Amino acid sequence: MKRRKLTTLLLGSILVLSACSNAADNTANNAGNNADAGKNNAETAVGKQDPYAPMAEQVTISIGKEAAVDPKLPSGSTVEDNELTRYFSEKLNIKYVDDWQATSSGDAYRQKVSLSLTGGDLPDVIVVDKQQLVQLVNADMLEDLTGVYENYVSPSLKAAYDSTNGYSLNSATFDGKLRAFPNVSPGADAENLLWVRQDWLDELNLPAPKTLDDIIAVTKAFQKKKGASGILGTQQIVNIGNSQYGFDTIFSAFDAYPELWVKDEQGKVVYGSIQPQMKEALAKLQDMVKEGLIDKEFAVKKPEQATELIVSGKAGIFFGPWWLPYSPLNDAVSQDSKAEWAAYLAPEGKEGKMNTHLAAASASYLVVRKGYEHPEAVLKTLNMQFDIDQLQGEGIVEMDPYQWMNMPFTLLLSNYDDKEKKALAVQSVIDGSAAVDTLQGEAKQVYESYLKDKETPKKDMAAWSQRNAFLTGALILAGDGVSQKQGVFYDQTDTMRGKWANLQKLEDETMLKIIMGSESVDYFDSFVEKWKSQGGDQITEEVEAQINK
């Protein structure tokens, strides 16, 4: 008797469950059908259109919105409804509705996106990463944007996309169809400079560091005479994107490009981390750790701990991107107003230039739900977003402080050489070779910051930061002292999805062990063997195939 009840219960629950899953299937199918029914009418629109013309009738765009952690809005304004969004609405006759918002802190936004994707419940517009883009394309859930792009893109946005030599648009194109509007992040962000305490350098009468040996000499002097720590480092030795305190340029000085897919001399695709040049670089790093030039505790350090050393005046030499004056160098200078920071293109490679890797120009993608009736409204918004961001909201934002994330879509769009270009423009005004009124937007702000900081040095830290980030950091990247290495592949292949985690772990462990000296440099050879046999060779073939496609 008892048993039969139990069976009934079980059967009952299974029935309920299967009913549930069928229902889910049906809705998914319906959604698919609807999508097909609502074939886009953009394809029917022919020829170039005014990229800024308002929509004939008001249209609504629902957005899965990534919001700034600190949107800096006065009371009454919201992320969804503020000076910027109102301006867009008015100019373009578009209503922007946030389906949901998630902040960019931690994983909140990414998780929210995953959730919408799994639920098959896409807003009209959402920003996804490359892997999610590929998934969405494979599931055929995205609008074809090829025609919309051709007909509606503004000249300035097109120029920005063209500044990546086609990389951006190619990475969003599948079978000849444009499936997303990619972001364009400034190339300068991935290039590391050597940041040095210039006042110490002057005090100790040391020449500007150029080669790796110079860097070592400076570090030794700082340690001995200033009681400073060695070259800063963190757990992350190398990072192709943002490599604060990374050793990337030490590797590239030896012409080694870890974590980057590059072409070798025969034009074959190879993975940078397993190239023979790595051995030399690793041996050098091992020596530097042995000599105490790099604190061996770098392996357990998080970036915050390294930053602490800078702010407390205990570090005088390390690698980092052009924007370090915004943080943490501004804090360091507030603590000690005598501190002067300078950036150098060092260490030099064999050709006398600083070698540096470049990151993928695009890593996030604005996609439009398949079946959305007005994809051109989306592109019109982007056209305007680009222009307004170039002007830093000038003429629009009066009450609110400008924050680009408060625009309708959270997609960063800039020229690939944005920072270098602006720094050069400002410098030529300072030199007197150009007129002040040639400057606009951010460049104008930089010039104002320069004047303000020159007048009363280090009083207004915001001005100090902006002046130094551009005129100390970005400016030297604009010269011809840099030799840039572009990777040939920044995506994932099929086999990578299964085996990359394991290879990555192998790589991380090996590099750290060799640098720390717990394994000899020759251990590198057995790492290469292992890497190849555990799927690396197969992945290399796939990468080669994808590039030649």
Partner 1 sequence: MGKKSNALQYHLMLAPGMVFIIIFGIIPLFGIAIAFQDFIPVKGITGSKWVGFDNFIYMFQLDDSKRILFNTLYISILKMIMQVLVPVGTALLLHELVFNRSKRWFQTIIYLPHFLSWVILAGILTDMLSAQGIVNKIVKGLFGDTVFFLGSNFWFPIVVVLSDVWKEFGFNAIIFLAALTAINPSLYEAAEIDGAGRLRKIWSVTLPGILPTIVLITTLNIGQVLNAGFDQIYNLYNPLVYQSGDIIDTYVYRIGLVQYQFGLATAVGSMKSLVGFVLIFISYRLAAKYANYRIF
Task: Tell whether residue 135 is a contact of partner 1 (CB under 8 A).
Answer: yes
Distance, in Å, from the CA atom of 118 to the CA atom of 113, rounded to the nearest integer, reads 9
Closest to partner 1 by CB, 86 vs 302, is: 302
**Which one of 481, 508, 517, 546 is in contact with partner 1 (CB under 8 A)?**
508
**What does the per-residue mask of binding to partner 1 show for 57-96, with x meaning CB under 8 A?**
----------------------------------------
Q: Which is nearer to partner 1, 184 or 514 (CB)?
A: 514
Contact pick of 90, 170, 498, 523 for partner 1 (by CB under 8 A): 498
Kindly state the tokens that stand for 457: 């040095």
The answer to whether 127 touches 364, Cβ cutoff 8 Å, is yes
**228 to each of 181, 196, 221, 284, 310, how far by Cα in Å?**
47, 12, 9, 21, 10
Q: For partner 1, which is the closer residue by CB, 117 or 379?
A: 117
Q: Which stretch binds partner 1 (CB under 8 A): 36-44, 56-64, 116-124, 482-490?
A: 116-124
Using CB atoms within 10 Å of the CB of residue 85, give its burial: 0 to 12 exposed, 13 to 18 middle, 19+ buried: buried
> Which of 290-298, 329-337, 411-419, 460-468 is the region at the interface with partner 1 (rule: CB under 8 A)?
290-298
118 binds partner 1 (CB under 8 A): yes
Positive or negative, the CA dihedral 492, 497, 501, 502 is negative
Neighbour count for residue 120 (Cβ, 10 Å): 13
Rounded to the nearest 5 degrees, what angle is found at the Cα of 218, between the Cα atoms of 214 and 221?
Answer: 140
Site string for partner 1, 156-175 (x = CB under 8 A): --------------------
**Closest residue by Cα to residue 394 from 425, 451, 439:** 439
Neighbours of 108 (CB within 10 A): 15
Report the distance separating Cα 26 and Cα 115, nearest Å. 19
CA atoms of 204 and 521, how far apart (whole Å): 35
Q: Is the CB of 193 or the CB of 237 nearer to partner 1?
A: 237
Stretch touching partner 1 by CB under 8 A, among 212-220, 265-273, 291-299, 413-421: 291-299
Cis omega (within 30 of 0) for bond into 347:
yes
Site string for partner 1, 183-222 (x = CB under 8 A): ----------------------------------------
Residues 3-62 that bind partner 1 (CB under 8 A): 13, 17, 21, 24-25, 28
Among the candidate windows 46-54, 347-355, 415-423, 502-510, which touches partner 1 by CB under 8 A?
Answer: 502-510
Q: Which is nearer to partner 1, 105 or 334 (CB)?
A: 105
516 lines the binding site for partner 1 (CB under 8 A): yes
Cβ atoms of 183 and 128 within 8 Å: the answer is no
Q: What are the structure tokens assigned to 394, written together?
A: 């000038």
Helix (H, G, I), strand (E, B) or coil at 374: coil
* CB 424, min distance to partner 1, A: 39
Binding partner 1 (rule: CB under 8 A), the pick from 39, 210, 296, 485 is 296
What's the CA gap between 315 and 306, in Å, rounded?
9
The answer to whether residue 526 forms part of the interface with partner 1 (CB under 8 A) is no
298 versus 322: smaller Cβ distance to partner 1: 298
Q: Which of 336, 509, 522, 525 binds partner 1 (CB under 8 A)?
A: 509
522 binds partner 1 (CB under 8 A): no
Residue 295 lies near partner 1 (rule: CB under 8 A): yes
The minimum distance between CB 137 and partner 1, in angstroms, equals: 9
Residue 284, Cα to own-chain centre: how many angstroms? 29
Contact 343, 473 (CB under 8 A): yes
Instruction: Give the nearest distance from C-beta 32 to partner 1 in angstroms.
Output: 11
Considering only the stretches 220-228, 384-392, 427-435, 499-507, report the one whose residues sit in contact with partner 1 under the rule CB under 8 A: 499-507
Question: What does the block give as tokens for 477?
Answer: 């990247």
Looking at the Cβ atoms of 171 and 427, the one nearer to partner 1 is 171
Q: Is 502 an interacting residue with respect to partner 1 (CB under 8 A)?
A: yes
Say which residues have a Cβ less than 8 Å from residue 3's Cβ, sequence separation at least 6.
Answer: none
List own/partner pairs for 107-115 with CB under 8 A and 24 or more apart.
109/66, 112/64, 113/64
Q: Which is nearer to partner 1, 438 or 533 (CB)?
A: 533
Q: To the nearest whole angstrom, how small is the minimum distance from the Cβ of residue 15 to partner 1?
A: 13
Q: 286: closest CA among 273, 275, 301, 299? A: 299
Does 226 contact partner 1 by CB under 8 A? no
* Residues of this chain, 300-339, that bind partner 1 according to CB under 8 A: 300, 305
Rounded to whole angstroms, the maximal C-alpha distance in the chain is 98
Of 95-103, 165-173, 426-434, 509-517, the segment contacting partner 1 by CB under 8 A is 509-517
Judged by CB under 8 A, the residue of 74, 106, 120, 241 near partner 1 is 120
- Total residue length of the chain: 549
**Nearest Cα to 540, choosing from 501, 505, 488?**
488
State the minimum distance, in angstroms, from the CB of residue 34 to partner 1.
17
Beta-carbon count within 10 A of 322 CB: 26
132 binds partner 1 (CB under 8 A): yes
Closest CA to 354 of 422, 280, 255: 255
Residue of 34, 41, 60, 114 that binds partner 1 (CB under 8 A): 114
What angle do helix axes 523-531 and 277-290 make, rounded to 10 degrees? 130
CA 46 – CA 148 distance, rounded (Å): 9
What φ, ψ does residue 356 adopt, rounded to 5°?
-150, 150
- The residue (of 108 and 208) whose beta carbon lies closer to partner 1 is 108
Min CB(136)–partner 1 separation in Å: 6
Q: Please report, as ranges, the residues that interact with partner 1 according to CB under 8 A.
A: 13, 17, 21, 24-25, 28, 114, 117-118, 120, 131-132, 135-136, 138-139, 141, 235, 295-297, 299-300, 305, 497-498, 500-502, 504-505, 508-509, 512-513, 516
